[in-house]
Chain A
């Protein structure tokens, strides 16, 4: 190599990837993908699940080196073989699952592996130096008041995200890669994070920003790279913030999508299927009453921690309420256990698909069979492989779960197909009420649409649906009626089309008084 300038000026290309190929057994994850990052820009990457966003990032993070193609950092060809090399080349990747030690303090996490030492043999970490340095870094991130001595596990998700960024700053990162950083943040936390990102970019940092939330991509990013099926589709210039969401969607799925968040018709009736009266659970929610009608989609909107998940888990018998009454089709029921709730006609698709929805180490077929033991066995509990197979095949067919291999382990399906599996296990029980808790979180656009279509189909059959989502446009588009919760209480109710985003936010933050 000849002498090349070590520093890159703003506006120059800092990272260039050319003709990147990467395959895993049975999958061509990336083929001939090119990508460039300009110093001081925020570069969004979007694409459906399986488009190759994460693989591209993992090549830069040194998790999986590419099969072929070149990576040029500051005009120097490099091959990043492992995560340490990536850090040393001043690239920091913040994965969706944080790499933090929950039982260590903020300062210890930021300095992990780089502890300033003192004393004989430099064996004692210099805690004062660490505390000072950590607090300088956290102030840069807009958290001057954060106690850097407290344990990371006591921080909110948003604060943990900032600690991850703090680690990157300590490593003098020049390129920061963020994978779905806002997936579990509240709108307010998201806004605060954006402010931090913008201030870091102003200081010269370059950011690669991966997100499913298209409005974030279009409002934050200077350029947008769209991937589909492991191939580069287009790079859009968004310096004037002129790219529309619809345009992105079109590139991502390869077809036009009108009225993305919508259902074909409103099937709600006046006949109540579920009534909840004065339901309370200490410290979680208080005096909640509502009615769900047959064929209706009732949305629960609100911020994380508003008590939405808690109340549906109570109705579902997982954490029975302290007080209050539940009626199903006019009959008082006592959902003292999940078993009882299921018998009474409830199904629950939980918030966290991987932790609560599926046994990832079992096949998807086994998972669908799990709450339906009586349907696939004889009276004495003897399994019938045939019955299980036909049950699984039925739902693989009717819900077009892909790939069409019921015996494949649940963990090897994409997010959208996993979610269909979770829904399938309840459909087999022909529920009267289906609770969907964040059913579209982290799944691709195509699968989202399929789930919306499924919701229409179910309501047409008269099933009442409780729909929880933190994506405001989604709840506004999908739900026939909307309840807004804050602090464990219902703070507002709207019919479809009655409320604006501002109306909902105001009530979700409970600021109207």
Chain B
């Protein structure tokens, strides 16, 4: 029996725990790691701690963060998307091809975004209607997308010279790269969508227990189609910006994005089992990886070592996490 007094006590404890939870949350500990790594590089690499370099890092991680935001929704719902890189590449290449052949930007840009959306929609459609695991569907789609892209480009880059598009990737407003401005916008929208809407709740409940979700009258299939389509939308937007950054469509565009986005999501603290996810964590994960790459380059470490480091970071961060959560469970 709980008496009134105990109840009050419990409630005070809960309020106290809220602050505790904020301190103990994955996001804040990850933020501290980001600060620590930043400090380490600032002390060791000469040009690391400068406004120019920090903006540069922001620019470099913008696209990964954007696409990883979509990936966060997918992984939270218990799925995975291995095809985000192909989706991004295909939308960039098709948009470039349209512009190269004289198409107006008013058509080319929406077309590029639409390619990503369509790609994601079909991922969702195949996963739900054919009852196939997301791993299989998106593994297949990544090949389909990359193949189509190579057919269109015949393996060569398409160079365009549209000032507006190029400004997206390289321009600045008030000294801040335009491209970097997309990051907070997408992160805020995605975080609100995941944490403050019915849709977000359904994403989490589908990942947490799909059967229970269905038995609540929620059409989990429709939720999944929406999730993959949303992720496709982010890929499409990223594709448009990528085009500006590369001065056109490159057959290799987005090649590492599948693994990089999954890494950002995992480092960020979203559970691979589904059920819970954090967009802020994902952003911090992407920033951490971007910072390490940037710092190692400034320290003149061989480019290929940065790849090794990224892999090591994933394992270390997740090992610490599983260790601490196992301890908490005791």
Contacts and interface: CB of A to CB of B under 8 A. Distances in A.
Interface of A: 316, 318, 337-339, 341-342, 348, 350, 355-362, 366, 369-371, 373, 376-377, 381-383, 402-405, 407, 425
Given A370-B216, A373-B198, A403 B209 contact: no
Contact of A348 (B199, B213, B215): B215
Interface in B157-216: 196-202, 204-205, 208-209, 211-216
Nearest to B222: A339
Nearest to B219: A339
B7 A360 contact: no
A382 B194 CA distance: 11
Task: Name the residue in B198, B200, B202, B204 with the highest tally of chain A Cβ atoms < 10 Å from its Cβ.
Answer: B198
Contact of A403 (B2, B198, B212): B2
Contacts of A376: 198
A407 B14 contact: yes
Contact of A361 (B2, B200, B275): B275
B197 A338 contact: no
Task: Name the residue in A369, A370, A377 with the highest tally of chain B Cβ atoms < 10 Å from its Cβ.
Answer: A370
B214 A318 contact: yes
Contacts of B209: 355-356, 358-361
A355 B211 contact: yes
Given A369-B201, A381-B197, A339 B275 contact: no
- Chain B interface, DSSP helix/strand/loop, else mixed: helix
Interface string B280-319: 0000000000000000000000000000000000000000
B218 interface: yes
B102 interface: no
A361 B211 CA distance: 14
8 contacts: A358-B212, A359-B275, A360-B209, A362-B204, A362-B275, A371-B218, A382-B197, A402-B2
Contacts of B2: 402-404
Contacts of A339: 217-219
A362 B218 CA distance: 16
Interface size class of B (residues with CB under 8 A): 20 to 34
A372 B14 CA distance: 25
Interface in B1-18: 2, 7, 10-11, 14
Interface of B: 2, 7, 10-11, 14, 196-202, 204-205, 208-209, 211-219, 275-276
Nearest to B206: A359
A350 B215 CA distance: 8
Contacts of B212: 350, 355-359, 370
A192 B180 CA distance: 70
A381 B216 CA distance: 17
Given A358-B209, A376-B198, 12 more contacts: A339-B218, A339-B219, A355-B212, A359-B209, A360-B209, A366-B201, A366-B204, A370-B216, A381-B199, A383-B201, A405-B10, A405-B14
B204 to A, nearest CB: 6
Nearest to B7: A404
Contacts of A377: 197-198
Contact of B208 (A316, A342, A361): A361
A356 B214 CA distance: 9
Contacts of A371: 216-218
Nearest to A341: B217
Contacts of A341: 217
A337 B196 CA distance: 27
Given A318-B215, A403-B2, A370 B205 contact: yes
B14 A366 contact: no
B259 to A, nearest CB: 26
A361 B77 CA distance: 13
B15 to A, nearest CB: 11
Task: Name the residue in A339, A356, A361, A402 with the highest tally of chain B Cβ atoms < 10 Å from its Cβ.
Answer: A361
B7 to A, nearest CB: 5
A425 B216 contact: yes
